[in-house]
Structure 1
């Protein structure tokens, strides 16, 4: 069976700092036409950063899209000069937390919400954290608070609905899986 939707027309309706909004007329496999509203995104990286005493570094910030405070793992957009997702992850860890890490490993990657965006997210694990004396500056439009939570504290934030974005929920379940495997 053919699943491909062929683009007949593509119109950029907004080209912003972070995303581009596109409306496409497509030809469906059954011969009918439809419209697709797509958010184009440069991609991002996120970091599951563990302290030596087995705490997870998280950032607390207000998210306008959901009109509430959100507790999330450090993450950020790929810059045009980033050579790969690891470069982005290292920069974001330092900017948002004031830490660097000696031990890095790739965990996974995925499309965040392929029904309407092409955002591709890469997740890395960071251990053996080192406090940076003069860290990279935080983004000017971010107001964040650094948290270092135990597994039980992070799980409680999840249960209260404060830790609910996909990358951070993934991080919490990744941590849970590793705890179970290492018992």
Structure 2
């Protein structure tokens, strides 16, 4: 029988740890790690709270996209609604629903986990979970979130899933969560959505959702 393809959780001993920079949202930490035969190495990386994103898909197969200015890359990016896991004790799927409400003025009756990923594991410990949200309805005007900052005046656009895929593969849109969500949704749809997971599916790549065995 062919061995299952899966990443292996096997944390190496941390011999020393120091926070070298404390930021507004995330910190930079320095850790000395024992790699066994490979010796000891010191690595500096961004300590990130994690994030969630939502591919909101309507009955016509269109995706809800929002556009935000992202200063580090100097672009107005088309994205799916997303946000940091920065509310204490808030379950990830509740945070995803909150972001969909706040950024796209939408609520969804049907939720599944679509895909999980780590954004740049060589330099940041961010884990991101993308949900598929369906059976959508608009938030009543009197209950809508008042947006400000980078979200002020943020447009909402409905785009066919295939068009999102094509724009991503053509290099016209660049957001990783958007591209991964579109490709994953199309692949899952081709399999009758059999790959979807429940909203509370295990999420061990996020440090706060690992079991003790996965952390040792």
Normalised-by-shorter TM-score class: 0.7 to 0.9
SS across alignment from 2:167: helix
Which of 83, 88, 92 pairs up with 1:85? 92
SS across alignment from 2:46: strand
Report the counterpart of residue 127 of structure 2 in structure 1.
120
Report the counterpart of residue 47 of structure 1 in structure 2.
54
Report the counterpart of residue 7 of structure 2 in structure 1.
none
Report the counterpart of residue 140 of structure 1 in structure 2.
149
SS across alignment from 1:90: helix
Q: How far does residue 4 in structure 1 lie from its aligned partner after superposition?
A: 5.0
TM-score scaled by length of structure 2: 0.74
- Matching of residues 1-183 of structure 1 within 5 Å: 5-30=12-37, 32-133=39-140, 134-138=143-147, 140-143=149-152, 144-181=154-191
SS across alignment from 2:155: strand
Q: 1:52 to 1:151 in 2, by over 3 A?
A: same
Q: How far does residue 101 in structure 1 lie from its aligned partner after superposition?
A: 0.9
Q: 1:123 to 1:4 in 2, by over 3 A?
A: closer
Q: How far does residue 129 in structure 1 lie from its aligned partner after superposition?
A: 1.1
Q: Which moved more, 1:75-84 or 1:96-105?
A: 75-84
Q: 1:37-94, CA deviations, whole angstroms, 9 ceiling, x for partnerless residues?
A: 1111111111010122221011112222222232111110012335211011000001
Q: 1:112-157, CA deviations, whole angstroms, 9 ceiling, x for partnerless residues?
A: 2222222111111111111112222335343432111013432343
SS across alignment from 1:30: helix
Q: 1:68 to 1:141 in 2, by over 3 A?
A: closer
Unpaired runs of at least 5, structure 2? 1-9, 193-216
Unpaired runs of at least 5, structure 1? none
Q: How far does residue 162 in structure 1 lie from its aligned partner after superposition?
A: 3.6
Greater strand fraction, Structure 1 or Structure 2: 1
CA contact (8 A) 1:57 1:146 kept: yes
Query: Following the alignment from structure 1 to structure 2, what is the Cα–Cα distance between the partners of residues 4 and 52?
Result: 43
